[in-house]
Structure 1
Amino acid sequence: MDMRYLKDRYVNPYTDFGFKKLFGTEINKDLLISFINSLLHGKEVVKDLTYLNTEHLGTGESDRKAVFDVYCENENGEKILVEMQRGEQQFFKDRSLYYATFPIREQGQKGEWNYRLKAVYVIGILNFKFDKVHDNYYHHEVQLLDVETKDVFYDKLTFIYLEMPKFNKSEDELNGMFEKWLFVLRNLSRLMERPKALQERIFTRLFETAEIAKFTKVEYDAYEESLKVYRDWKNTIDTAELKGEKKGFKKGHKEGLEKGEKIGIEKGEKRKAIETALEMKADNEPIAKIMKYTKLTEEEINQLCESGVKREL
């Protein structure tokens, strides 16, 4: 393999190839188990995982097909979807809910069945921000709640969203496996060596798996193609954002000029009214007439006369 032009040492996990290389293969399922357990903070311990078919059709031929990045179940039969969301979609929350229906519906049984379901987890690793209000809140865990009591109504359907652009902790600030995993996902493709803070055995395995120099020729070619797709997509998004910023600037600039012009006109009109009022008062014109021609109030006219100077109210 010719590595002369290769700049990155580790695979980019935001590419299709990179994500599935790290989390979507049987040989590396220990990486996925560690990552999922770090998300659940000990509430659910996954000891083993079985990978399931990532392509699913609905119950009828006309139903749309869903293609998951990683789909698996733990030793208790609970279903876990893991998706890498590279860019914000208009109905991204709807998409998450739609995807969750597949592992729910496929649990249906023919004949007698009491409708008891296994838990379903939908994990979204987001390369964008969807919560514009809370800048430091990047770990969302969503369940069905009773609006009045705020109690969990149904604890077998959980959506976990990680807003990766909001996670900006440095290596020295990392606390626990959860933050270490987020740091790896956020920075892996930019690292040239393994950080000292990531000394756990699982990260030894991860960095060995992610090292591009150890790829076979077939793997390297597949990664290069996946990386090209990712870069093209990112360039498209960046270009659209730049155009949006320029459009917003022009709109804001225009609105600012219009607002400034309006304020200037209003100030000019008020100044002219004051000058007219003072001249009419000097000519002993009645207050009612001054009010009619200047649109000033009687109080404003009296204040002008008392001050004896031309000033802006």
Structure 2
Amino acid sequence: MFTFINPKTDFAFKKIFGSQNSKDILKSFLNALLYDNQPTIEYLQILDPHSLPLIRGLKDTYVDIRAKLNDGTEVIIEMQVLNVEAFEKRILYNAAKAYSTQLETAEQYVMLNPVIALTITDFEMFEDFRKVISRFVLKEREFLSDYPIFDFELVFVELPKFQKSLNELETLTDKWIYFLKTARDLNSVPATMEEVPEISQAFTIATKANLSYDELSELQKQEIYIQDRRGAITKAVSIATEKGRQQGKQEGRQEGIKEGQFALIIRLLERRVGAIAPEVQNQIQELSIAKLENLAEALLNFTQISDLTAWLETQDLPAR
């Protein structure tokens, strides 16, 4: 029986996929998620994720893993557990920076290599469709034709949308996503996954018994931080929901008062000046509660419909 670390934490994700001993694991992982299980990546180089050129005036770039593929394509990879503000913009910024900072002074644009930003999220980003993996590229707005240079791609893997059980895993893609989503809850390596050497190696790295005291301590700190942040988000949502409920009740009471006033005033007006045309009733309905109270007092002096319309003209109603 084994205990595995959570691959979704920053520390574990980098240890499993981003160390210099993880090249085969990362190659299998990227072939599965980016290239439909085809052996497109023959070899890759794992780079320092923070080694992008520092340019005056640009923010630092934070990604979990950065790799260069055999065809020169650069892949920046991020595992994101919490849905933080402006996260979508950060993805674009990091991808654009990885693309734009490739060139040294005086180098030609033709030397730019494609950039793929692979983002794995532990929350749903795109509620309009149920695909687990989605890919975004530059398209012409009306005809949806590709931009001539296919150098920029954003790929998202939304873990909550993956609902397959262990017995339903069919492809290498399925197995890697299942590993990310469930490894920490397993106590042994499933046979169907152990048969993939790279996934078996990933489980070995993820075994808690293989971690030092300092590594376990760092992992625990990150998991506590994630739990605290999730708790803070849940509490904030709960408070906002309760405020909205109370505000809704208050607005409902005010609306009920206004509807009652309106109905009473229309009955009183019809007794004094006759039938009230629908367009005039609409004007009366636009009055605030305070102005309806003023109208209730003023109507005692009305003797004909023109008295009412003249009074309404003094109330600064919206132009119709």
User: Normalization by structure 2: what TM-score?
Assistant: 0.73
Alignment of 1:283-298 (within 5 A): 292-293=273-274, 295=276
State the partner residue of 1:93: 88
Q: CA deviation at 1:86?
A: 2.4
State the partner residue of 1:306: none
Q: Given the alignment of the two structures, is residue 78 of structure 1 paired with residue 106 of structure 2, yes or no?
A: no
Alignment of 1:110-125 (within 5 A): 110-111=105-106, 113=108, 115-125=110-120
1:258, 1:165 → 2: CA distance?
41
Letter aligned with residue 102 of structure 1: K
State the partner residue of 1:248: 244
Q: Where does the alignment leave 5 or more consecutive residues of structure 2 unmatched?
A: 279-320
Distance 1:148 1:242, change over 3 A: same
Out of 12, 16, 30, the position equivalent to 2:10 is 16
Distance 1:199 1:292, change over 3 A: farther
Alignment of 1:223-242 (within 5 A): 223-242=219-238
1:242, 1:169 → 2: CA distance?
31
Q: CA deviation at 1:260?
A: 5.6
Distance 1:296 1:195, change over 3 A: farther
Letter aligned with residue 156 of structure 1: D
Letter aligned with residue 231 of structure 1: Q
Letter aligned with residue 18 of structure 2: G
2:261, 2:38 → 1: CA distance?
65
Letter aligned with residue 154 of structure 2: F
Q: Given the alignment of the two structures, is residue 173 of structure 1 paired with residue 168 of structure 2, yes or no?
A: yes
Out of 101, 118, 126, the position equivalent to 2:121 is 126
Alignment of 1:58-73 (within 5 A): 58=53, 60-73=55-68
Distance 1:176 1:265, change over 3 A: farther
Q: Given the alignment of the two structures, is residue 218 of structure 1 paired with residue 196 of structure 2, yes or no?
A: no
Contact 2:52–2:98, Cα closer than 8 Å, also in 1: no
User: Normalization by structure 1: what TM-score?
Assistant: 0.75
Letter aligned with residue 210 of structure 1: A
Letter aligned with residue 73 of structure 2: E
Alignment of 1:130-279 (within 5 A): 130-134=125-129, 136-153=130-147, 154-201=149-196, 202-258=198-254, 269=264
State the partner residue of 2:315: none
Distance 1:217 1:211, change over 3 A: same
2:182, 2:146 → 1: CA distance?
35
Distance 1:141 1:249, change over 3 A: same
1:265, 1:170 → 2: CA distance?
60
Q: Deviations over 1:250-269 (max 9, x none)?
A: 33444455556666777x65
Identity among equivalent positions (%) equals: 25
Q: Deviations over 1:142-161 (max 9, x none)?
A: 00011122111131111001
2:164, 2:9 → 1: CA distance?
22
State the partner residue of 1:36: 30
Contact 1:126–1:162, Cα closer than 8 Å, also in 2: yes
Q: CA RMSD in A?
A: 3.1
* Structure 2 residue matching 1:55: 3-state secondary structure: coil
